[in-house]
C-alpha cells in the first residue's frame, strides 16, 4: 500500500488538474481508499499541489469527517443530537460499544470498525439514526445495533444490511428504503407539478420580468435569514462581471431540519429548474449544489436526475460534497469550502452578490427557495402570496420531530399558530417547542397564540416538540455543546465564550451556579452576540436567552444566592492543596 500511495496521489492530482478548489474531493478520494488521510498522504498531496503541508492540514483538520488517524474500514457515525437522545440513542450506543468492544470515538482494531458521534444527520423524524459508511440506518434499537454490529464483524458490507431489521424480526424495511419521507401536508410547493413548466415560462420572460415576478410573490429565503430573494438577485445581476454563479445551499445543518432532504430525494428536477431560472435572472450559466456530507447517499440519485436535466437544458450544474461542518451552511463559509479551504466565514462586505465564488457575483439560496421559485414561475406569483402573512408570504416546509404522534414534513402557510401546530402534529403532553433549531427560539407550549412567520417566530423550518418528561436543562446543554463543537474558532468571543456558556449550564444542572454566574453569563451573551463575525456566534446564546424568557423559573429556582458581603465562598483549602502535597514527603519538595 505504501508504494501505492504516492502514485495514487499523483494520479489524483492529474485527475483534478491540480485545481486547489477541488481539495475536498481529493481528500475524500484519499480517505475512501486508505480509510484515513495519513501524514504521508498529506506530504505527498502538498508536494503535488505545490502548497505547504500546514496549509493542507489547515483545511483537512477543519472538517469533522476527515480522519487523520486510522479510523476503520467501516465508520459508524451515531447521531447524538438531543432528539436522538430522547429516542433512545444511549441504548443504541451502548449496544454498539459492547458488541465492538470499544467506546464512542474509538476504532476496534480487531474488526477495523470505528464508532463516532455526529450532530443531527437530518433524520430526526425517524431516529435514532446513524450513518454507516455514509449509508443511512434509521429507527435504530439496541437489538438492531447488535445485529448490525455482528454482521459488520463478519465482514458483511453495510450496503447489504440496509433495510434489515434483525435476524428474528420478520418485518423488513423495503430494500434500500431506510429513509422514509413522511409528507403530512401538501400545499403550493408540494402539490402536483407539471415538470418543466416553471422553467419554460421563465425562458419566455426577460430577466427583469422574472425578478419582478419574484418581487410580487414576496418570496423570502428559506434558509433561515429570510432575505428577500428578488433583492439578492437584482443586486447580483447589477454587479458587472464576466461570470455569475448560482449556488444552492444544501448543507441543511440546523439540528432538527430535514425538509431539504425530501426535496433533494423526491424533487431534484424542481430544484434544478429553480437554479436555471435564477441563472436566467442573474445572467449565470453555471450552478453548484453544496451538498452536506451526511446526504451523500443521495448522490447517485441526484446524479441520474442531473444527467436527464442536462440532456434537456443548457444550464450546467455540478454537485460538491461537504465534509461535516455546520458553519459551512453559512453562505460565505460555504464559499470558502467550495474553494477548497477551511469553512471560515468571510468578513462582509463585500457580500456574495458582489464578490462570491472565485470573486464573482454569486447568488446563494436554500434548496427550498429554488424549488419555490420554480412553482412561482409555474403558477404565477399571485397564487403564492395569497397565503401567508403581510411580511411572510406563501407557504413553506416544516420539519416536525420530537414528542409527537405524527412526525414528518408539513407544508403550512406562514402565520400558523403554535396551537394549530400542536393539534395537527398530535403532540403529547407538550412542554416546550424549539422553533428553528438550537439557533432559534425555545418557547413554552403555553404560548399558543404565537405565530410562525418572520414577524414573530422566524425559522429555517425546524420545529421540535418536547414533552413534560424532558429535561429542559439537558436540551439547553446539548445545544450549547453543539455550538462549542461547531464554532469555527476565528472569533474569540464565539470560540471561548460558548465554552463559558456551556460551563454555566452544566453548573446550573449540578445545582452549583450562583446568581452572579447568571449575571456574568448574560454579559457574555451580549458580547458574543454583538462581536461575532457570523450567524453562528450571533445566535449561539439563544438556547440560554430564549429559555430564560420562556422558562425563567428553570434558572431562578436553581440559582444559589450570592453572599451579601460580596465575599464569595472561595475554597482556599482546595486551592492550596496541591502546594501542601508537594511538601508532604520532605520540606524541600524534591
Partner 1 sequence: MPPKRVIGTISLAGCFGCHMSILDIDLKFLELIELVEFNRSPLTDIKTFTKHCDIGIIEGGCCNDENVHTLISFRKNCDILVSLGECAIMGGLPALRNKIDLYDCLKEAYLNVPSSVPGNQMIPHHPDLPKILDRIYPCHEIVKIDHFIPGCPPCDEIIWKSLTNLITGKSETIPYPFLKYD
Residue among 1 and 567 whose Cβ is closer to partner 1: 567
Please work out the total of residues on this chain that contact partner 1, with binding judged by CB under 8 A: 21
Backbone dihedral region for residue 164 (phi beyond 0: left; psi -120 to 50: alpha; all else: beta): beta
Residue among 194 and 567 whose Cβ is closer to partner 1: 567
Distances in Å between the Cα of 325 and the Cα atoms of 27, 32, 150, 180, 542 are 15, 19, 31, 25, 20
345 binds ligand SF4 (CB under 6 A): yes
From the list ligand FMN, ligand SF4, partner 1, none, pick the one residue 366 interacts with, judged by a Cβ distance below 5 to 8 Å according to partner type. ligand FMN
What number of CA atoms fall less than 13 Å from residue 409's CA on the CB side? 23
Site map for ligand FMN, 183-222, x if CB under 6 A? --------------------------------------xx
User: Cis before residue 350, ω within 30 degrees of 0?
Assistant: yes
153 binds partner 1 (CB under 8 A): no
194 binds partner 1 (CB under 8 A): no
By beta-carbon distance, which residue lies closest to ligand SF4? 537
Question: CB of 495: closest distance to ligand SF4 in angstroms?
Answer: 5
Q: Which three cell numbers stand for residue 320?
A: 460538491
Question: CB of 487: closest distance to ligand SF4 in angstroms?
Answer: 4
Residue among 71 and 491 whose Cβ is closer to ligand SF4: 491
What number of CA atoms fall less than 13 Å from residue 37's CA on the CB side? 27
Residue that is written with C-alpha cell 428577500 in the block: 228
Give the integer Cα–Cα distance in Å for 68 and 503: 29
572 binds partner 1 (CB under 8 A): yes
Question: Quick one: angle between helices 23-34 and 4-15, nearest 10?
Answer: 150
From the list partner 1, ligand SF4, ligand FMN, none, pick the one residue 567 interacts with, judged by a Cβ distance below 5 to 8 Å according to partner type. partner 1
* Residue 373 and residue 278 in contact, taking contact as beta carbons nearer than 8 Å: yes
54 binds partner 1 (CB under 8 A): no
Give the integer Cα–Cα distance in Å for 477 and 503: 9
Helix/strand/coil (H, E, C) string of 326-375?
HHHHCHHHHHHHHCCCCCCCCCCCCCCCCCCHHHCCEEEEEHHHHHHHHH
**Is 313 buried (19+), middle (13-18) or exposed (0-12) by CB count in 10 A?**
middle
588 binds partner 1 (CB under 8 A): yes
From the list ligand SF4, partner 1, ligand FMN, none, pick the one residue 365 interacts with, judged by a Cβ distance below 5 to 8 Å according to partner type. ligand FMN
Report the relative pairing of strands 362-366 and 286-291 from DSSP bridges: unpaired
Distances in Å between the Cα of 103 and the Cα atoms of 111, 116, 166, 549 are 14, 9, 23, 38
Question: CB of 327: closest distance to partner 1 in angstroms?
Answer: 24
83 binds ligand FMN (CB under 6 A): no
Give the integer Cα–Cα distance in Å for 256 and 201: 35
From the list ligand FMN, partner 1, ligand SF4, none, pick the one residue 495 interacts with, judged by a Cβ distance below 5 to 8 Å according to partner type. ligand SF4
Residue among 242 and 587 whose Cβ is closer to partner 1: 587
* Residue 392 and residue 414 in contact, taking contact as beta carbons nearer than 8 Å: yes
Q: Which three cell numbers stand for residue 483?
A: 455550538
Give the integer Cα–Cα distance in Å for 465 and 61: 35
Residue among 124 and 532 whose Cβ is closer to ligand SF4: 532
Give the integer Cα–Cα distance in Å for 413 and 435: 16
Q: Which three cell numbers stand for residue 419?
A: 396551537
* Residue 513 and residue 370 in contact, taking contact as beta carbons nearer than 8 Å: no
Q: Which of residues 475-504 bind ligand SF4 (CB under 6 A)?
A: 487-491, 494-495
What number of CA atoms fall less than 13 Å from residue 240's CA on the CB side? 0
587 binds partner 1 (CB under 8 A): yes
* Residue 199 and residue 313 in contact, taking contact as beta carbons nearer than 8 Å: yes
From the list partner 1, ligand FMN, ligand SF4, none, pick the one residue 275 interacts with, judged by a Cβ distance below 5 to 8 Å according to partner type. none
From the list ligand FMN, ligand SF4, partner 1, none, pick the one residue 579 interacts with, judged by a Cβ distance below 5 to 8 Å according to partner type. partner 1
4 binds partner 1 (CB under 8 A): no
From the list ligand FMN, partner 1, ligand SF4, none, pick the one residue 590 interacts with, judged by a Cβ distance below 5 to 8 Å according to partner type. partner 1
Which one of 167-175, 261-269, 303-311, 570-578 is the stretch in contact with partner 1 (CB under 8 A)? Answer: 570-578
Single residue of 17, 580, 584, 585 touching partner 1 by CB under 8 A: 580
Q: Which of residues 303-332 bind ligand SF4 (CB under 6 A)?
A: 327
534 binds ligand SF4 (CB under 6 A): yes
Q: Which three cell numbers stand for residue 176?
A: 434500500
**Through-space distance between the first and last CA atoms of the chain, rounded to whole angstroms:** 51
Single residue of 516, 527, 538, 554 touching partner 1 by CB under 8 A: 516
Residue among 34 and 351 whose Cβ is closer to ligand FMN: 351
Residue among 300 and 566 whose Cβ is closer to partner 1: 566
Q: Which among 337, 333, 351, 385 is positioned nearest to 233, based on CA atoms?
A: 351
DSSP state of 463: E
Please work out the total of residues on this chain that contact ligand FMN, with binding judged by CB under 6 A: 23
Q: Which of residues 228-257 bind ligand FMN (CB under 6 A)?
A: 249, 251-254
* Residue 102 and residue 63 in contact, taking contact as beta carbons nearer than 8 Å: no
Question: CB of 583: closest distance to partner 1 in angstroms?
Answer: 5
459 binds ligand FMN (CB under 6 A): no
Q: Which residues bind ligand SF4 (CB under 6 A)?
A: 327, 345, 487-491, 494-495, 532-534, 536-537
Q: Which residues bind ligand FMN (CB under 6 A)?
A: 221-225, 227, 249, 251-254, 326-327, 329-331, 364-366, 369, 534-536
Q: Which residues bind partner 1 (CB under 8 A)?
A: 516, 562, 565-568, 570, 572, 574-580, 582-583, 587-590
Amino acid at each position: 500500500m505504501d508504494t501505492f500511495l504516492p502514485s495514487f496521489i499523483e494520479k489524483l492530482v492529474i485527475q483534478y488538474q491540480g485545481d486547489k478548489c477541488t481539495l475536498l474531493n481529493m481528500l475524500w478520494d484519499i480517505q475512501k481508499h486508505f480509510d484515513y488521510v495519513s501524514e504521508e498522504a498529506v506530504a505527498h498531496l502538498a508536494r503535488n499541489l505545490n502548497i505547504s503541508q500546514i496549509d493542507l492540514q489547515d483545511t483537512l483538520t477543519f472538517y469533522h469527517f476527515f480522519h487523520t488517524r486510522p479510523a476503520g474500514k467501516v465508520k459508524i457515525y451515531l447521531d447524538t443530537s438531543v432528539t436522538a437522545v430522547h429516542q433512545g440513542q444511549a441504548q443504541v450506543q451502548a449496544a454498539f460499544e459492547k458488541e465492538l468492544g470499544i467506546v464512542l470515538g474509538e476504532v476496534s482494531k480487531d474488526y477495523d470498525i470505528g464508532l463516532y458521534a455526529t450532530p443531527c444527520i437530518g433524520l430526526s423524524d425517524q431516529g435514532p439514526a446513524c450513518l454507516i459508511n455514509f449509508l443511512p440506518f434509521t429507527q435504530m434499537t439496541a437489538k438492531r445495533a447488535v445485529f448490525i454490529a455482528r454482521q459488520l464483524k463478519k465482514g458483511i458490507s453495510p450496503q447489504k444490511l440496509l433495510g434489515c431489521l434483525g435476524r428474528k424480526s420478520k418485518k423488513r424495511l423495503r430494500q434500500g428504503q431506510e429513509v422514509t419521507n413522511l409528507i403530512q401536508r401538501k400545499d403550493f410547493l408540494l402539490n402536483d407539478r407539471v415538470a418543466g413548466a416553471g422553467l419554460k415560462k421563465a425562458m419566455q420572460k426577460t430577466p427583469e420580468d422574472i425578478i419582478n415576478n419574484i418581487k410580487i410573490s414576496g418570496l423570502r429565503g428559506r434558509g433561515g435569514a429570510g432575505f428577500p430573494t428578488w433583492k439578492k438577485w437584482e443586486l447580483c445581476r447589477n454587479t458587472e462581471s464576466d461570470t455569475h454563479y448560482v449556488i444552492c445551499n444544501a448543507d441543511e445543518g440546523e439540528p432538527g431540519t430535514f425538509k431539504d432532504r425530501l426535496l433533494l430525494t423526491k424533487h431534484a428536477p424542481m430544484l434544478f429548474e429553480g437554479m436555471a431560472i435564477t441563472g436566467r435572472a442573474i445572467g449565470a450559466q453555471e450552478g453548484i449544489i453544496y451538498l452536506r456530507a451526511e446526504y451523500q447517499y443521495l448522490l447517485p440519485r441526484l446524479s441520474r436526475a442531473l444527467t436527464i436535466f442536462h440532456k434537456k437544458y443548457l444550464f450546467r450544474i455540478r454537485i460538491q460534497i461537504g465534509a461535516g461542518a455546520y458553519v459551512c451552511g453559512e453562505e460565505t463559509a460555504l464559499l470558502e469550502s467550495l474553494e477548497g479551504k477551511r469553512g471560515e466565514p468571510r468578513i462582509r462586505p463585500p457580500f456574495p452578490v458582489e464578490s462570491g465564488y472565485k470573486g464573482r457575483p454569486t447568488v446563494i439560496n436554500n434548496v427550498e427557495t429554488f424549488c419555490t421559485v420554480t412553482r412561482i414561475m409555474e403558477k404565477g406569483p399571485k397564487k403564492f402570496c395569497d397565503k401567508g402573512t403581510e411580511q411572510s408570504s406563501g407557504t413553506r416546509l416544516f420539519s416536525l420531530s420530537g414528542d409527537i404522534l405524527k412526525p414528518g414534513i408539513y407544508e403550512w402557510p406562514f402565520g400558523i399558530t403554535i396551537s394549530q401546530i400542536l393539534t395537527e402534529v398530535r403532540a403529547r403532553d407538550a412542554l416546550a417547542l424549539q422553533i428553528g433549531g438550537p439557533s432559534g427560539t425555545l418557547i413554552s407550549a403555553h404560548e399558543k397564540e404565537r405565530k410562525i412567520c418572520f414577524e414573530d417566530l422566524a425559522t429555517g423550518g425546524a420545529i421540535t416538540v418536547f414533552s413534560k418528561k424532558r429535561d429542559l436543562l439537558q436540551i439547553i446543554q446539548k445545544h450549547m455543546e453543539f455550538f462549542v463543537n461547531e464554532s469555527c474558532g476565528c472569533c474569540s468571543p464565539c470560540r471561548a465564550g460558548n465554552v463559558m456558556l456551556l460551563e454555566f449550564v452544566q453548573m446550573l444542572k449540578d445545582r452549583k451556579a450562583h446568581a452572579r454566574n447568571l449575571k456574568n453569563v448574560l454579559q457574555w451573551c451580549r458580547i458574543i452576540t454583538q462581536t461575532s463575525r457570523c450567524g453562528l456566534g450571533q445566535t449561539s446564546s439563544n438556547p440560554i436567552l430564549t429559555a430564560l424568557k420562556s422558562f425563567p423559573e428553570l434558572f431562578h429556582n436553581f440559582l444559589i444566592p450570592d453572599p451579601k458581603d460580596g465575599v464569595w465562598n472561595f475554597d482556599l483549602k482546595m486551592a492550596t492543596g496541591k502546594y501542601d502535597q508537594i511538601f508532604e514527603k520532605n520540606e524541600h519538595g524534591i
